[in-house]
Structure 1
Amino acid sequence: MLLFSGTFGPVAAGAAGFAGFVVAFAAAPAIAWATRGRHYLAREPSPVGLGSTTKTCCICQYAFEPEDMANCPAYDGLICSLCCTLDARCGDRCKVPFSVDGALPVRRDSILQTSLWSNRQVSKSNQRARRFSKTFLSLILMIAGVIAFAYMQGTLTYPDERSAIWTVAWHMFWLFTIIAAMSAWMIVLARESRMLAQEESERQTTLLMEEIEAHERTDAALQQSNGKLLEAKEIAERANTAKSRYMIGIRHELRSPLNAVLGYAQVLDNDPTIPIRRRHAIRTVRRSAEHMSSLIDGLLDISKIESGRLYLEREEFDVIELLEQMADMFRLEAKTKGLGFYFTLQGKFPRVVYGDAKRLRQIVINLLSNAVKFTQKGDVTFRVRYRDMFAEIEVVDTGSGIHADDLQKVFEPFERGRHTGSNPISGTGLGLTITRLLISVMGGDMTVDSTPGKGSSFRARLLLSEATYASPRLSAYSQVSGYEGPRRRILIVDDDKAHCEMMTDILEPLGFNVRSVNSGVECLVVARENPADLVMLDIAMPGMSGWETAKVLRESVAPQSRIMVVSGNAFEIEAFRGSFGYHNTVMTKPIDANALVQEIAKLLEIEWRMRGVEAGIAEAERQASSGLSASRRLPSRAELADLSRLGEIGYVRGIRDKLIDLGNQSADYLWLVELLEPMVGRLDFPRYTATLSTLLDGEP
């Protein structure tokens, strides 16, 4: 800089660039010698594996030659020269401490520190003052150099104004001195803040690394001592798998006899020759079988819950009809125990909603079953409200109640809480667990209020969106009398003869030509001779399974036949539902006759011929116009008016009670009970009231 400013003449100024190179080249070893390598050599050489070809840097993760690597104490690993140059967070921990006389190790701050504070302990405030002094002095020297350079350039250009330039330079120096003091203080504070943050970060990192090492030691100790525990875990897992297989197997075994019970209950319920007094008992058997079927499905739900997969079906269903059926099923059970049972619908309920009818049925059954089971005297109230696409189900009982400590415990698997009654209560302790899980999956929540000795109140809130554009009401089995078009052939393939006989009793009265065989081989023989329009295949059969039979039917024997897979093993159906494309639909045992006729109508594209209620109205008109015989006389006009009024408000239970009373009064009224009861069963109130109006108009 002196040469460039012209201090040594114009010739020397031209050589300023070369002089700068020579000075820098000579200053580097001079500084190293003067400071004993503190600002030049970082550390003593250490072997880093010179025998290998390359080493990986712990910062950039690139490979370099061993000569370009060094051990970094800050990162506790090998670091390349580039990362070592760029990284400033390590605080130069690798620098070798030194002293002026070579005997006293001091901190690596500066020569100024060594000379002024090496013989006494420096306090924190003195350290801050020292840093400020160093920074301030550095800034002053820089400012003085710049101003001196500007002064020399100014005096060379304007030699006559040397005094004025000196005055300006002097004032500028003091002005920048004040600014340098403030800047130095801010730099010192910023550095302290950065150092504190870095120290805290390093401290937390050190603690984290120590914790990780402790966890690794603990994990290693556990792995060494967990041999027996692992063996016990494997034994428990094998037992759990065996339990799940047993549950699946027993569910399949229970479905087979239950299929016959439910199937024949549906057949008898559809038989017009059954007396009205026995029809109610048959329907009770049917609903109880449906209840048992849902309980069996709960065994499958347990396996699904354990495996973490539980799926919902989105379908249209009549929610009022479903709730009425549940109420009727538990009203009889409550009456048997001497309990009152009250069922009310509040709010404007849609007729058809979207949701999973099977899961909703399971939720209601679990809640009502617990209420009736744990209530020894008093009553059970079943209320359902509907508002803004949400249904709130409330079940209130006057039973033994639940202790406050058990309110959350009763929702845990296999937990039942404390029972205050004298009689033991049976149960597995899974009902409320499954119920709360299903409610959560269906987008709702569940709350419970209970007082020991006074009763409990369970409230479930579920999302049941209204089907604004609902599909036409599907045909019910009880309404079907036949179908239009040519007679269709149905082949039933099942090794259970009782199932074949039951399906034949359901389908033959509807006009189908039904044939049954007991194995897949017989099915192929019959299908080759006379292909059926619909083949109903069981899965588990001796010899050839249902899946194999379906494949042969579809590929060669009867490619035009519709194939319905029917099995009591719902788990097997779900496992292979998407793996085979040879069947058209699947159904599980026990068979629901309503669902069966709906599936058959879709597969065969047929139109059912219904038992028209118009025939009942015509019969009523004929009886009213031609006069009634002694065996077909009408009740009093007041009785008919009561029936009509109950139909106008849709009070199903009241109508049924009234019809039972009429049947008990006289056998002459049974024809009217048999005429009106089917209309009430399918909630066809317009035709119900029309029939009674016709009878009232013809009654003098």
Structure 2
Amino acid sequence: MEWRFHAVPDASSIIDDEPIEICLFLIDRTHSLREEMSELRRVRARLPNAVVVAVGDETSGEVELESWSSGADEFAPTSHLSAAAIELTVKRCIERKMTAEKLRHRERWYRVAVAEGNVGLWRWDRPNNFFYLADHFQEMLGLSHDQLPKNLTEWMERIHPDDQELTLAAAEAHFSGRTDRYVVEHRIRRGDGGYRWYLSSGCVAENDDARTQILGASTDITARKEAELALQRAKRAAESAIRAKAEFLTNMSHELRTPLAAILGYAEILEDFSQAPDARDAVDTIRRNGQHLLQLISDILEFSRIDSGNLEVNAMPTPAYEFLKGTFESFRNLVDEKGLRFVVDVSDEIPEMIVTDPLCVRQILWRLITNAVKFTESGEIGVAVRVANGALELNVRDTGCGMPEEMLGLIYQPFRQGDNSYTRQHDGAGLGLAICQRLSQMLGGEISVRSKTGEGSQFTVRLPIGCDATKDPQPETAMQAKPNSMRLEGRVLLAEDGPDNQRLYELLLRTAGAKVTVVADGRQAMEVALEKASVGEDFDLILMDMQMPVMDGYESTRVLRLAGYRKPIVALTAHAMADDRAKCLDAGCDDYIAKPVERSRLISVCHSWIDEGRKISNELNLAESGTQVSD
């Protein structure tokens, strides 16, 4: 190390602007110690940033002690004075001074961080039952001196009553060593009586082997917690609104379909007795407009269900060829009634099994084909199915009126049609294609269209194809329609609360040959079914409406199944949303028919389940279900 020395006789000789880093102050014992120490203090005052080393004789320790007291950073006895000793002493002083400066900087940074970060420091002393708050934490809480907690009990009284147990449990877990840190979010009462949210965290000191104290910090998180709570309230409100909307849609489906079931059902019966052409035309008009109204209701309710996120896709292994063939065959009568050709082309390359939601796929095809029929006056409707680029491709084309190119980007908008003018020739709500697009997207696919005015249209649906050859396909529960002349030979219990529909379905079933017992609510259905079963007069089939007074069909079915009733129960309900079928089956029903139902389908389903019911015996266990059968 290179030194440059400058000697001065006293403090007054030091030049103020001359940079001095080290000062060796030689104590002259020819002067009194008091005079020398006074001079040392003046040197210290003139050189506040320099390292001052006092050098003097030392026998009793008095000189060293006075030197420290007068501002020296170090004392060096003259008996050990040498260049090497002085250099070592100075280095030690410089290092100590730098360390002290770093500590001062860190303390300043720490104080700024605590203040700017709004962090309150504290100490939880368990053996002494004490909770100490640092000055800044006292200020954060707005506590005066007389409001400071004198013990842990008084501190816990400042914790919100709902958070006290959580706070104590977190502390106990950390004191006992079960957790690495103490962390808790709780509300603390301020000096003004109001509560604010704090995140409190800390841990025991490393040298605290007995785990007696937690040193920690608390941060004000009121803004974040209020935002979180507001979000939770908004989420609950949104969920409540969704539930209310779902309940509204379900009830509207029931309330609208129930009278339509009576209208369409009695129109079908009137047709049997209407011989005059005018009368038959009138009945046909009732049926046609009733079906149109039913389709509008179905479209509106289904779109609302999809739009609110209440429709779930249930993919399952499906036998592709059988499923598609059955679906297309069900459309053939619709096409034939208008005198159009129906051309179906299913490629041999489609896999034997696909994994998809067959109900959603059937809905898409139904809406596309009915749309094609509606807009086609002559020619043909063509359906082609093939596999392209790893996707199942469904093409529906027609030779109808087509659409102008500028309308193609608008047809998937709800309530929008190719012709929205008041003079348009085709009726409808404009929801069919919007539903098709959303269902395609829910299945992970897409829909596209090609069309030209006067040259027809072609819609293409591309769906991901999941193959599963290891699982057996789930059988279709719905039975194939039989001719209207089919006879019913069995006993049927009809649970239906609407008088009009009671008379309608009882008439249809009796006319077909069934012996019918009618009840008006689910409790009566349950009691009558169990009473007859207990004396060996079982019904072969129960037709169960699902929304009834006293006890609904869901609860009635669950109680019957719990009591060991094994005969078929078929839901006959106006609840016709996409997931209502699953809800009925989950309750214990064997099948599901949505109102309004055509006579042929009703008789067909009843015929199949009556045959099935005769093969099944009940296994009553009334004690298990808690039901009693009256004598």
Please state which structure has a larger fraction of its residues in strand: 2
With normalisation by structure 2, the TM-score equals 0.48
Please state which structure has a larger fraction of its residues in helix: 1
